Amino acid sequence: MITGPEAGITRDSITIDWEWKDPDGGKMRPVRLIDTAGMRKKARVQDKLEKLSVADTLHAVDFAEVVVLLLDATRGLELQDLKIADQIWSEGRALIIALNKWDVAENQSSLFQGVRGALDEGLAQAKGVPLLAVSGRTGKGLDQLIGAAFELREQWSKRVSTGQLNRWFERAVENNPPPAPGGKRIKLRYITQIKTRPPSFVLFGNRTDELPESYRRYLVNGLRRDLGFGTVPVRLTMRSSKNPFDKKD
Ligand SMILES: Nc1nc2c(ncn2[C@@H]2O[C@H](COP(=O)(O)OP(=O)(O)OP(=O)(O)O)[C@@H](O)[C@H]2O)c(=O)[nH]1
Ligand SMILES: [Mg+2]
């Protein structure tokens, strides 16, 4: 790709069909890489062409499987980056954050720890999102980056059986029962995965609208940790309904 020190070199997304050889497995894997226009430096600019570039980038994000948010390590992480990361995550894309220009980054370990901390604090819903140090100039970290992208894509596409899911779910509810607002316990009955990419689940129960956000987060974190959804966005919606399999109701 053409590069240059001034902002706004890339205007339209450019697609490159490419093959990546896994350094461990040795298998050739097809990759479609899309280089997009940057967003950060243009977000506050009114110029019409630049707005079009941002729209084009967002369009590419919509159709991507894994999005790599490439930051300039010499500038660190800015509020705008957190907003962009949050937007990509909320869109349901698998996300990797990479600190580029690592070859010229100073105080590398405190820089890395600082960005890691700011991400975990500023992106509560995307806690643990992969962060990698890379250099386009030297090639450092690029195999790791593509490797991580394949791994995330797998989590993002993963499906678990309703049986496995509900065995996990019973234990999760047993370990930490849902609250009982007004003295009456919220009843959670079962959970099912309705789709992948991103993994999406529906939880059925009684008065699920009264379930606090913290409990929903408890379940989402457990799903991620215990069932192999790792660090991709997971959607969990609630539905108050009767269990068709429960004769008592
Ligand atoms: N030292 C160093 N410089 C880099 C590295 N990657 C890119 N650069 C330099 O950073 C500048 C910007 O690079 P670009 O590839 O144009 O950046 P971009 O994000 O694509 O920018 P736009 O296309 O304008 O959105 C250029 O001068 C590159 O030579 C790197 O890993 N190390
Ligand atoms: Mg560019």
Tell me the per-residue pLDDT of 179-231, one tens digit each, with 9 for 90 and over.
Answer: 998 898 899 999 999 999 999 999 999 999 999 999 999 999 999 999 999 99
Task: Give the pLDDT band of residue 249 (cuts 50, 70, 90).
Answer: very low
- State whether 62 and 181 are in the same domain: no
- Which of 157, 185, 216 is the last residue before a domain boundary? 157
Q: Between the CA atoms of 40, 43, 44 and 48, what dihedral angle is there, to the nearest 10 degrees?
A: 130
Do 52 and 152 sit in the same domain of this protein?
A: yes
- What CATH number is associated with residue 31? 3.40.50.300
Bridging pattern class, strands 188-195 and 94-100: unpaired
What tens digit of pLDDT does each residue of 17-73 get? 999 988 877 889 999 999 998 876 644 556 677 778 888 888 999 999 999 999 999
Same domain, 145 and 26: yes
- 72 bridge partner residues: 100
Domain hosting 180: range is 162-240
Mutational test site, ligand 1, from 3, 69, 72, 75, max ligand atoms within 8 Å of CB: 3
Q: What is the pLDDT of residue 244?
A: 55
pLDDT at 9: 78
30 and 90 housed in the same domain: yes
0.75 exceeded by the pTM? yes
With the most atoms of ligand 1 within 8 angstroms of its CB, the residue from 41, 42, 101 to mutate is 101
What is the rounded (10 degree) CA torsion for 99, 7, 18, 21?
A: -20
- Spatial distance between the Cα atoms of 23 and 140, rounded to a whole number of angstroms: 14
pLDDT band of residue 137 (cuts 50, 70, 90) is: very high
Sign of CA dihedral 83, 213, 153, 123: positive
